[in-house]
A and B are shown apart, each in its own frame.
Chain A
Amino acid sequence: MILAFIEGERNPISPLCLQALTFARELAAGQGMPLEAVAFEREAGDLPGVLQRHGVSRIHRVEHPRLDDYAPEAWAKALAQLMDRARPQFVLAAATDRGNEILARVAAVKNLPMAANCIGWAPGSPPVVVRQRWGGSLLEEAALHAVPPLLTVAPHAVEVREIETQMEASLETFSPVLEEKDFRVRVVAREETHPEGVSLRTASVVVGGGRGVGSADGFRVLEELASLLGAAVGGSRVATNNGWRTHAQQIGLTGNRIAPDLYIACGISGAIQHYVGCKGSKNILVINQDREAPFFRRATHGVVGDLHEVLPALIEEIRRIKT
């Protein structure tokens, strides 16, 4: 049996989690094993329906009076106890903050190998995974020497697909045995501070700026373009290190990974550190004064020019079309 960890951060199920489920289902099919899922969310909405459409045959719903908010040690202990009972051959999660944390903790508790950011696998004994290093600019083939290995699935490694003929998923409650000490690390408060703008990670269009923007003020023109296109705004590491954008808006190895339909990169040279954050984009339009910028070799569209000339002209033209 293959066990998939379903997280939920208020939303019942995230796109990254669905990608991990698709990956897990392909692994299950390849190994001739059923796919089961473990969910911690209390208000899960139509979770059974969604999981069924992804080939899950059994759902383990973890219930405990104290599992109300995120507590990594308690969650991991609960998952480890479920593994003792259900005996999965692989355990998978999305390579999100929580997926990586919970699986790493289970790996530590049970002394198992854990491979983060997997994009593929090969059958065999021991099984082999392909995982990302350097944010995906280098790939590693690695053998996993223990059962069950723990894998997290890299964002955008697979496209979400539902199954055609679904079967009824059975729903079981799992009640872990937890103590006070398991809750020593838990969320004690939440601060909702980020404005309800378009989210970088889910936006279908993103406008990004780098060194060429020149200043925090320089980003105004990018924001204007973004608001016309319903896009999110992000920055390279240069832009966030200079304080032109907040760190939460960084696109790159140490920031967000984005995968929009269109990424408009302005004044960014396209160093590896940045590129690994945006390589999931379907189209990349690079606007840069330097015709030798490496980003042009990885983009789908390019404009050679000063963004402070090109963007105002582009904005004016879009306004004209819209009115």
Chain B
Amino acid sequence: MNVLVCVKRVPDPGARIELAAGDQAIETRKLGFTIGPHEECAVEEAVRLIEKLGGSATVLTLGPADAEEQLRDSMAVGADRGILLETEGDDWDPAQTAAAIVAAIRAAERQGSRFDLFLFGNESADAGGFQVGIRVAQALDLPCITGVKRLEAQANKVLARREIATGWEVYEVGLPALLTVREGLNSPRHPSFRSLMAARKKPIERSRPERDPVGLELLRLRLPPDRGTSAEMLGEGKAAVPRVIEVLKELGVLQA
């Protein structure tokens, strides 16, 4: 089983967001970077699959030169090699991103790579476009299951489950296939010191992708108006209970 996982370098999800001058990007000087929680699960799943079925895991990202850090992180938990589609670090829209990934996959296949399974996050943690994986699947004519939270893979097919309000939808498709996955699929491992060292020696291919015309053009970012409320403090410890009861009654949660 050869797996290609696509990831995106994003600021740590817990970080406080501030805008950079020009309002076209967020201020990143003080931020740490990571890949999104969905993608951490995608990398982990790829590594588990090749541990079980053999084969190799390749991790691909489109982003600035610094996105090498996210490829190394992914290789430290078991991916074999990396592909970096290097940009100037500005925002690529989902269709541009997908087209560059498709071109890179075709180039890798021309050089003899064969991928059985393509894994993406269901949506990126930052832009949240919900479409790059689907666009890649369409261009490569691959069956695509989105929002996967349980996966059973065999050499030639996958059984995938997507969670809905009442339970699970079950899908089955033959390989090759493309899946977009969600956090909860597995518990990603942490790298060891040795694996971090080993990842520094693993190969990364770098190239500059071609850029299609923009379809969804980022004009400006802004912070939403703050809720601006400061909580009405109802008291401390058990002593707050009578006021909490009054509030529950005021809100109609408890019968007055």
State the A residues within 8 Å of B (CB): 9-10, 70, 72-73, 95, 97, 100-101, 104-105, 107-109, 111-117, 126, 128, 132-146, 152, 184-194, 199, 201, 205, 229, 237, 240-241, 247-248, 250, 253-255, 261-262, 271-273, 279, 283-286, 296-306, 309-310, 313-314, 317-318, 321
- The smallest beta-carbon distance between B38 and chain A, in angstroms, is 7
A141-B232 Cα distance, complex, nearest whole Å: 34
Nearest to B242 among chain A residues (CB) is A317
Q: A108-B139, A261-B253, A300-B232 are in contact. Are A144 and B129 (CB under 8 A)?
A: no
A300 & B229 in contact (Cβ 8 Å cutoff)? yes
A245-B128 Cα distance, complex, nearest whole Å: 25
State the B residues within 8 Å of A (CB): 13-17, 26, 37-38, 93-95, 98, 123, 125-131, 134-135, 137-139, 143-147, 149, 161-174, 182-184, 187, 213-224, 227, 229-238, 240-242, 244-245, 247-248, 251-254
- The smallest beta-carbon distance between A176 and chain B, in angstroms, is 17
B168 & A254 in contact (Cβ 8 Å cutoff)? no
- The smallest beta-carbon distance between B96 and chain A, in angstroms, is 10
B215 & A113 in contact (Cβ 8 Å cutoff)? yes
- The smallest beta-carbon distance between A304 and chain B, in angstroms, is 5
A residues within 8 A CB of B168?
190-191, 193
A279-B37 Cα distance, complex, nearest whole Å: 20
A108-B146 Cα distance, complex, nearest whole Å: 14
A302 & B254 in contact (Cβ 8 Å cutoff)? no
A304 & B236 in contact (Cβ 8 Å cutoff)? yes
Tell me the interface secondary structure of chain A in the complex. Answer: mixed
A296 & B170 in contact (Cβ 8 Å cutoff)? no
Sorted from nearest, which 6 A-B pairs have the closest CB atoms?
A: A247-B184, A113-B215, A108-B138, A104-B131, A302-B231, A305-B237
A115 & B17 in contact (Cβ 8 Å cutoff)? no
B143 & A97 in contact (Cβ 8 Å cutoff)? no
B residues within 8 A CB of A310?
237-238, 240-241, 244
A145 & B149 in contact (Cβ 8 Å cutoff)? no
Tell me the interface secondary structure of chain B in the complex. Answer: mixed
A residues within 8 A CB of B98?
108
A134 & B170 in contact (Cβ 8 Å cutoff)? no
B128 & A229 in contact (Cβ 8 Å cutoff)? no
B233 & A304 in contact (Cβ 8 Å cutoff)? yes
A residues within 8 A CB of B161?
191
B231 & A144 in contact (Cβ 8 Å cutoff)? no
B residues within 8 A CB of A240?
184
A135-B143 Cα distance, complex, nearest whole Å: 28
A residues within 8 A CB of B247?
285, 301
- The smallest beta-carbon distance between A50 and chain B, in angstroms, is 20
A296-B218 Cα distance, complex, nearest whole Å: 33
> Pick the contact of A187 from B16, B137, B169 — CB < 8 Å?
B169
- The smallest beta-carbon distance between B242 and chain A, in angstroms, is 8
> Pick the contact of B125 from A100, A134, A205, A296 — CB < 8 Å?
A134
B134 & A104 in contact (Cβ 8 Å cutoff)? yes
Can you pick out 21 interface pairs between chain A and chain B where the beta carbons lie within 8 Å of each other?
Answer: A97-B146, A101-B134, A101-B146, A114-B216, A116-B128, A133-B126, A134-B125, A137-B223, A138-B221, A140-B221, A145-B215, A187-B171, A190-B168, A193-B166, A253-B37, A254-B183, A261-B251, A286-B231, A300-B232, A302-B233, A313-B241
B231 & A299 in contact (Cβ 8 Å cutoff)? yes
> Pick the contact of A141 from B127, B219, B224 — CB < 8 Å?
B219
A201-B164 Cα distance, complex, nearest whole Å: 11
Q: A305-B240, A314-B244 are in contact. Are A100 and B130 (CB under 8 A)?
A: yes
B222 & A141 in contact (Cβ 8 Å cutoff)? yes
A133-B13 Cα distance, complex, nearest whole Å: 12
B164 & A9 in contact (Cβ 8 Å cutoff)? yes
Interface centre among B126, B134, B232 (most CB of A within 10 A): B134
A113 & B93 in contact (Cβ 8 Å cutoff)? yes
Nearest to B235 among chain A residues (CB) is A303
> Pick the contact of B217 from A142, A189, A255, A283 — CB < 8 Å?
A142
Interface centre among B161, B215, B224 (most CB of A within 10 A): B215
A residues within 8 A CB of B95?
107, 111, 113
Nearest to B239 among chain A residues (CB) is A305
B241 & A317 in contact (Cβ 8 Å cutoff)? yes
> Pick the contact of A117 from B128, B236, B240, B252 — CB < 8 Å?
B128
B residues within 8 A CB of A305?
236-238, 240
Q: A104-B135, A313-B241, A318-B245 are in contact. Are A192 and B167 (CB under 8 A)?
A: yes
A residues within 8 A CB of B182?
254
A residues within 8 A CB of B131?
100, 104, 107-108, 114, 116
A residues within 8 A CB of B254?
229, 318, 321
Nearest to B144 among chain A residues (CB) is A185
B184 & A134 in contact (Cβ 8 Å cutoff)? no
Nearest to B91 among chain A residues (CB) is A140
> Pick the contact of A191 from B15, B170, B215 — CB < 8 Å?
B170
- The smallest beta-carbon distance between A221 and chain B, in angstroms, is 13
B16 & A272 in contact (Cβ 8 Å cutoff)? yes
